[in-house]
Every structure is written in structure tokens, then in C-alpha cells.
């Protein structure tokens, strides 16, 4: 069984679908430019639906302490996902300042990007490998662009931290991605949507069912 996180949820219906389907993490996106973003108040409200067995994850991008503090004032989170260009020192500072586990996203396009993840092994609690936004993509987001990277870059790689695979994953390519990388945890957002920011509960259920079959 592969553990799965559903990210970018912003309605009670989709949160409930992720819970019912057996997600082990649920992600709330606080990056204002994303079509999946929601207010801290709404995240706090939706988070109350989530049982203690499922982690509530807050996605931020190069956020300052004041921004993170404002989020946590209204939303109870179990994990912070740093999805920007945060340095190892910044990751350590966020973890120390807010007392929450931190998952650092590593954007991947080439083998050197995977190697760069090792700089975070002493400061983060988890790693998440996502596709580096291509420069050719206008107005690209840090994640959720429905683009995969070369999964072979992760083949045989070993890390001291638990890690997750993201980047264009959906029910149709999940088995291949897991086989190619050896990932035991995966994350999707665009892969369970009808259009950016609009999740489909049936796609959520299907993705989770496939993950749990692997």
C-alpha cells in the first residue's frame, strides 16, 4: 500500500472524500497566486472535519514568520510544507519558531536537483520531490502544474528522511511512477481536478484506491 496525500482542498465535500478514501495527509494551500488557495479561516473550519489519524498540512511559498503566524492563528496544522526556495537555514528557523514538523519540497528537473535534497536532511522532517516548473511555462506555479519529471532520476536514491513523490500524478500513471521510483508515499493536486482549483471527488476516490492497491 502506498500512502497518499491530497493537496489543495478547499471544500467540505472534497475533504470528506479524501478522508473516506483513506488519505494519510490532507493539504491546504496558502499561496495566494494559486487557484487552490484558501483563507486560514476556511482551512481552520475544514480542518475540524479531519480525524487525528490524518495530518493537516499547510503549504506556503517563501513565507515570512508573520504570514505563517497569521495562518496558524486560525488554522490548526500538523505539518508545514515549504514549497518555495527556502534554504536549509530557513527550514531550521521555521521549525524552531513554530514547533511544527516541516516537509521541504525539492523541485526536480535534473540529477543535481535530487542530490541537492541532501542539504535538508538534517533540518527537515520529510522531503517531497515535485517537478521544477519549466521556464517556458508562463505564470507557472511552484507546484500543481500537471507536469511530471523524469522518474528515473529517483531510481535507487536513498534518503535519511521519509520522502514523497509529486508532479503530475493521477490514477492513470500512479502505478508506473511508483514502480519507477520506489516511492512509498505520493502527493497529488492537479491529478484529481477537472480544472485548476476544482477537485473531483470521484477522481480523489480513484487515486486513493489505486495508491492503496500498490
What is the structure's pLDDT at 142? 55
What is the structure's pLDDT at 29? 98
Cell of 23: 488519505
What is the structure's pLDDT at 139? 61
**What does the mean pLDDT of the chain come to?**
94
Give the model confidence (pLDDT) of 159-192 as tens digits: 999 999 999 999 999 999 999 999 999 999 999 9
Domain count of the chain? 1
Give the model confidence (pLDDT) of 92-147 as tens digits: 999 999 999 999 999 999 999 999 999 999 999 999 999 987 555 456 555 555 67
> Which domain covers residue 113, as residue numbers?
3-213
Angle in degrees, 0-180, between the axes of helices 201-213 and 12-21, rounded to the nearest 10: 20
What is the structure's pLDDT at 147? 76
Cα(171)–Cα(78) distance, integer angstroms? 26
Q: State the CATH number of the domain containing residue 133.
A: 3.20.20.70
Global pTM?
Answer: 0.93
- Is the separation of the CB atoms in 178 and 204 below 8 Å? no
Say which residues have a Cβ less than 8 Å from residue 11's Cβ, sequence separation at least 6: 46, 199
Q: What is the 3-state secondary structure (H, E, C) of the chain?
A: CCEEEECCCCCHHHHHHHHHHCCCEEEEECCCCCCCECCHHHHHHHHCCCCCCCEEEEEECCCCHHHHHHHHHHCCCCEEEECCCCCHHHHHHHHHHHCCCEEEEEEECCHHHHHHHHHHCCCCCEEEEEECCCCCCCCCCCCCCCCCCCHHHHCCCCCCCCEEECCCCCCCCHHHHHHHHCCCEEEECHHHEEECCEECHHHHHHHHHHHHHC
Angle in degrees, 0-180, between the axes of helices 88-98 and 65-74, rounded to the nearest 10: 40
Amino acid at each position: 500500500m502506498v500512502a497518499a496525500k491530497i493537496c489543495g482542498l478547499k471544500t467540505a465535500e472534497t475533504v470528506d472524500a479524501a478522508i473516506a478514501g483513506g488519505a494519510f495527509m490532507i493539504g491546504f494551500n496558502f499561496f495566494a497566486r494559486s487557484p487552490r488557495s484558501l483563507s486560514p479561516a476556511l482551512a481552520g473550519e475544514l480542518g475540524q472535519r479531519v480525524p487525528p489519524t490524518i495530518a493537516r498540512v499547510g503549504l506556503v511559498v517563501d513565507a515570512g514568520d508573520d504570514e505563517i503566524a497569521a495562518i496558524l492563528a486560525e488554522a490548526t496544522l500538523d505539518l508545514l510544507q515549504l514549497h518555495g526556495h527556502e534554504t536549509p537555514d530557513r527550514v531550521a528557523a521555521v521549525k524552531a519558531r513554530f514547533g511544527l514538523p516541516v516537509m521541504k519540497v525539492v523541485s526536480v528537473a535534473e540529477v543535481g536537483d535530487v542530490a541537492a535534497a541532501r542539504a535538508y536532511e538534517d533540518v527537515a522532517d520529510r522531503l517531497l520531490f515535485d517537478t521544477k516548473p519549466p521556464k517556458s511555462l508562463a505564470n507557472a506555479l511552484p507546484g500543481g502544474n500537471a507536469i511530471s519529471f523524469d522518474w528515473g532520476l529517483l531510481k535507487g536514491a536513498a534518503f535519511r528522511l521519509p520522502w514523497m513523490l509529486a508532479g503530475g500524478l493521477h490514477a492513470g500513471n500512479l502505478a508506473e511512477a511508483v514502480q519507477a521510483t520506489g516511492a512509498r508515499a505520493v502527493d497529488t493536486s492537479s491529478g484529481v481536478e477537472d480544472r485548476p482549483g476544482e477537485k473531483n471527488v470521484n477522481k480523489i476516490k480513484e487515486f486513493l484506491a489505486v495508491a492503496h492497491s500498490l
